Structure 1
Amino acid sequence: MRTASLSRRLFTGTLLASLLASGAAQAQTTVRVGSKIDTEGSLLGNLIIQVLEAGGIRTENKVQLGNTKIVRGALMAGEIDIYPEYTGNGAFMFSVEKDPVWKDAKAGYEKVKALDFQANKIVWLEPAPANNTWAIAIRKDVATANKLKTLDDMGRWIAGGGKFKLAASAEFVERPDALPAFQTAYGFKLKQDQLLTLAGGDTTVTIKAAAEQTSGVNAAMAYGTDGPVAALGLVVLDDTKGVQPIYAPAPIVRAEVLEKHPKIRDLLAPVFRTLDGPTLQSLNARIALGGEDAKKVAASYLKSKGFIK
């Protein structure tokens, strides 16, 4: 009896160990995909998930996790494995904002790719050709009435007492390479009552606030690939001094994860090559204005290009 009981215990222990090992192995083979909280973040995150799944890589959906600081922190802490980032953010991440390399798409990519791998063992995969740079958009009626076409025009207009109120995220207001950089270059300084600071980083919300004149807002933080700008009656003012770096979207992945799943690189590269500015504007507009689900928009695009069935 004792022998039988011992055998059962040994069998049970072996089975439990096997199940635990299997669970651990499964966890290790699951790639956790994150993204930023905005419309484009959700789109790109879902594109990554669906392409990896179609390529036989199991994923865990952690899209729209938060702003840049939160998502970047999660990657660094090993809480997520991959997410779409922007090349120009390398200037801020590595405190080299004054380096002119960020104004060149290829050189900026190579710079952040080298810096991030050396410092953090994070791999930057092939970027998209789109430039999702930060911009300021203003209501078209205000721009027309005051002959505002560039940020130079806007700076002079504000300095001369023009009625201006900007909807933006806290990140845009506070980051030295965002609003502060525009203010320094174009000679204006917004007071607190000229700002409506909104939670998160979704430019759809800021653009709608300007379109609807929420709390007197007539201008908005925007991105170069935003779909809603023209559709909601706003215009992007030209950054004639080239204040902003080039922000090309690219998947970034922890090196140890890429070593386990090397085909991630080849699966994502052809997809990101197709994402130029007009393409992202169109896809973003379907989500932000058309009310379509980002997951469905990603799927329809990937199917139309033959990346998934």
Structure 2
Amino acid sequence: MVKLRILGRSLGLGLLLSSCGGDPLPLKVGGKQSPEEQVVAELVAGLAEASGIPVQRRIGLGGSRLSLEALKRGEIDIYPEQTGTGLALLGLAETSSTDEAPPMALLRERYAPLGLAWSAPLGFESRPGLAMLHERARALAIDTYTDLANPANRVAIAVDQAFRARPVDGLNPLRRRYGMAFEEVVEIPTRDGSKSYDYLLDGRVDVALVHSSDAQVDVFDLKVLEDDLGFFPRYDAALLYRQAALERFPALGPMLERLDGAISNESMQALSRRVSVRGEDPGAVARSELIRLGLIEGEDRRRDRQALSLAVSLSANADGEAGTVLRQLRRSFPASNVNLVRSADPLGAVLEGNVRLALVSAPAFFAPGSVDPATGLPPLRGGLEAVALIGTSFLHAFSLDASITRVTDARSIATGSAGSSGFRAAQTLIDGLQLDAELVPVEGDTPAALAAALIRSGADLALLMQPVGNSTALTLLQRGLPLLPVENWGQRNNRIVFPYLQPAQLSADHYGRFVARGNGIKGELPGLPKPINTLATQLVLAGPATVGEMRLSTQGPGSSFVPRALPLTDQAVERINAATGQVEEIYPVLPQAPALAPRLPQPPASLNASPAASLLALSAVLLLGWLAFLLLRPLREPMA
């Protein structure tokens, strides 16, 4: 028994001594909860593992205060932090955000007594900011934080809990600095910070807290307001770590040097987009970036994302319906690269296979100038179908000559490029009113350039078919060009031959929310002093028409191979319509995607069984009868 005790103690002592050999404790890599923080933490963890350092991941701990406390207690060894936040955590604040270099010397001096150190900046900045939708900011004439503080602008703002609680660079210090008074503050859990974008896009709030490294700022084409008083300092990303970790892991120092300036602002936005928009795993995203940077060896196996480009006219607002549709598509198809492409002929771009979708008004589907005997309508452009209803476009007929006071007086009409909705609407107008006028198509790379080209065209009339708020139309209105009414459209048989153009009224009230406050207009536009009669039509998304049963999804095997003019699947069409949320149906005269056709209820199942089933049932009945006979028949008495 004594020998067994001695042997047991010897084994225990041996195990204890063996456990003390080397350093069994791993490098504990921490990280906060945003996609950017998770990716950077995974970059550190992946590079450390490749450098032979054992790693324990503690990513997603919480906000900056919690992460710093965990670092001081040794619960983590390293985590990503921003320089501006590092100062704020100590109760310090920089005096200006215009400094070209981050305050690394000050940070290292103040954190050294805590046993903590800062790496060199990683190369990108994640500065907080306030963002709005372009159309909302334009309606309220807001470009700067000072504009936001205007008492007339009672707006709602969405911020995360951490920002609201920060005493140095948070919401309350910001409000005091600018004298802001928000109508409502919507507080979002820090872990769900991306919901602020949902609230902003859905109109739940007017302003949202964003960060310069967030992918959603560019994805959703948001307007970042100017911090004109320089409230926010620089927020360069770096790594905050324990000095003791360098002693435990000598390879950590050279590893940190390899990350010095390795990640640009553009790279960080792309990485953040893969996580926050496309839903990829932060670890996989970080690994592919380390491979791309040449910091580790391996093969990046991710496949290219399917493109779902949207063509719009040269005069379309990037911050109007086009921007809204772009955001809806990106939210509905996070696995696809959804891009905006300006085109002189958006439907032509679809037919050529250069884009998958086009945003056009209904007249773009037709080729006026003749009537198809089979339909009684102008000929349709083949190979196209309407996918979803987006809104309404109005015909804007501007007089470019003071002597032209009626549309019927015009002898020349300037429009957008041939093939555009405006060009084809002008053709329809000439046919419907039997005008003796020629078309003068012009082009401009931007809405403002198109407005200038229309004015310089020398035509009597400029015609646009665009939604209310279009920048080109607004520019012409604010220059005082009068809008002319379109009268007598219901005469003859125009409602039969051209059913895609319907009588409507247009007034200054339609443009009220697009006219900036305080500009002296006060709800009236020089070119639209009173309501006028005009024409309206549907604004739709269009795609290539169905060919047989071959249809293309935006995801799945083979989605990276896109044959020319292949239509969307029914599922993709349904997702687009769910995102747009329109109740009105598309004009029956427009060719439509099969998914939009009414679905008849399934007929009830037939009550008449097949012959085989009937025979089987009869056999079962006979079998049951025979068994009953066997059970119920009287037993015969045995013979003596």
Q: Which residue of 2 aligns with 1:54?
A: 50
- Secondary structure in 2 aligned to 1:26? coil
- Secondary structure in 1 aligned to 2:269? helix
The CA distance in 2 between the partners of 1:31 and 1:279, in whole Å, is 26
- Secondary structure in 2 aligned to 1:252? strand
Structure 1 residue 106, shift from structure 2 partner: 3.1
Hey, which bits of structure 1, 4+ residues long, moved more than 6 A? none
The CA distance in 2 between the partners of 1:201 and 1:13, in whole Å, is 45
The CA distance in 2 between the partners of 1:103 and 1:264, in whole Å, is 32
The CA distance in 1 between the partners of 2:208 and 2:257, in whole Å, is 32
Pairing partner for 1:246 from 211, 220, 234: 234
- Match status 1:210 vs 2:200: yes
| Residues 304 and 285 of structure 1, relative CA distance in 2, 3 Å threshold | same
| Residues 107 and 37 of structure 1, relative CA distance in 2, 3 Å threshold | closer
Name the amino acid aligned to 2:116.
I
Q: Which residue of 2 aligns with 1:173?
A: 164
Pairing partner for 1:225 from 199, 204, 213: 213
Name the amino acid aligned to 1:32.
K
- Deviation string for 1:265-305 (max 9, x for gaps)? 32123324122222111111111111111111111111011
Q: Which residue of 1 aligns with 2:187?
A: 197
The CA distance in 1 between the partners of 2:62 and 2:179, in whole Å, is 32
**Structure 1: which 5+ residue stretches go unaligned?**
none
Q: Is the 8 A contact 2:23 2:248 kept in 1?
A: no
- Deviation string for 1:201-225 (max 9, x for gaps)? 5542222221223xx2232111111
The CA distance in 2 between the partners of 1:43 and 1:107, in whole Å, is 22
Q: Which residue of 2 aligns with 1:164?
A: 155
Q: Is the 8 A contact 1:134 1:178 kept in 2?
A: no
- Secondary structure in 2 aligned to 1:197? strand
Q: Which residue of 2 aligns with 1:135?
A: 129
Which moves more between the two structures, 64-73 or 265-274? 265-274
Name the amino acid aligned to 2:158.
A
| Residues 166 and 17 of structure 1, relative CA distance in 2, 3 Å threshold | same
Structure 1 residue 233, shift from structure 2 partner: 4.0
Pairing partner for 1:109 from 86, 99, 104: 104
- Secondary structure in 1 aligned to 2:259? helix
- Secondary structure in 1 aligned to 2:117? strand
Structure 1 residue 12, shift from structure 2 partner: 2.3
Q: Is the 8 A contact 2:118 2:238 kept in 1?
A: yes
Which moves more between the two structures, 221-230 or 49-58? 221-230
Which moves more between the two structures, 4-13 or 57-66? 4-13
- Match status 1:155 vs 2:149: yes
Structure 1 residue 101, shift from structure 2 partner: 7.1
Task: Give the CA RMSD over aligned residues.
Answer: 2.1
The CA distance in 1 between the partners of 2:31 and 2:281, in whole Å, is 15
Structure 1 residue 185, shift from structure 2 partner: 2.9
| Residues 101 and 256 of structure 1, relative CA distance in 2, 3 Å threshold | farther
Question: TM-score by structure 2 length?
Answer: 0.44
Pairing partner for 1:43 from 39, 42, 50: 39
Structure 1 residue 19, shift from structure 2 partner: 5.1
Name the amino acid aligned to 2:217.
V
Name the amino acid aligned to 1:116.
Y
- Deviation string for 1:35-86 (max 9, x for gaps)? 1111111111101000111111011000111011111110011111100111
Structure 1 residue 234, shift from structure 2 partner: 2.2
Q: Is the 8 A contact 1:228 1:289 kept in 2?
A: yes
**Structure 2: which 5+ residue stretches go unaligned?**
298-640
The CA distance in 1 between the partners of 2:195 and 2:34, in whole Å, is 9
Question: TM-score by structure 1 length?
Answer: 0.88
Structure 1 residue 149, shift from structure 2 partner: 2.1
Pairing partner for 2:178 from 186, 190, 208: 186
- Deviation string for 1:97-156 (max 9, x for gaps)? 2x4377535351211111101x20101011123221111111222113223222222222
The CA distance in 2 between the partners of 1:205 and 1:67, in whole Å, is 17
Pairing partner for 1:124 from 107, 118, 124: 118
Q: Which residue of 2 aligns with 1:269?
A: 257
Structure 1 residue 91, shift from structure 2 partner: 2.5
Looking at both structures, which has the greater relative contact order when contacts are Cα pairs under 8 Å and sequence separation is at least 6?
A: 1
Pairing partner for 1:302 from 259, 282, 290: 290
The CA distance in 2 between the partners of 1:107 and 1:40, in whole Å, is 19
Q: Is the 8 A contact 1:122 1:253 kept in 2?
A: yes
Name the amino acid aligned to 1:174.
A
- Match status 1:13 vs 2:8: no
Q: Is the 8 A contact 2:53 2:251 kept in 1?
A: no
| Residues 83 and 106 of structure 1, relative CA distance in 2, 3 Å threshold | same
Structure 1 residue 32, shift from structure 2 partner: 0.2
Name the amino acid aligned to 2:104.
Y
The CA distance in 2 between the partners of 1:103 and 1:78, in whole Å, is 35
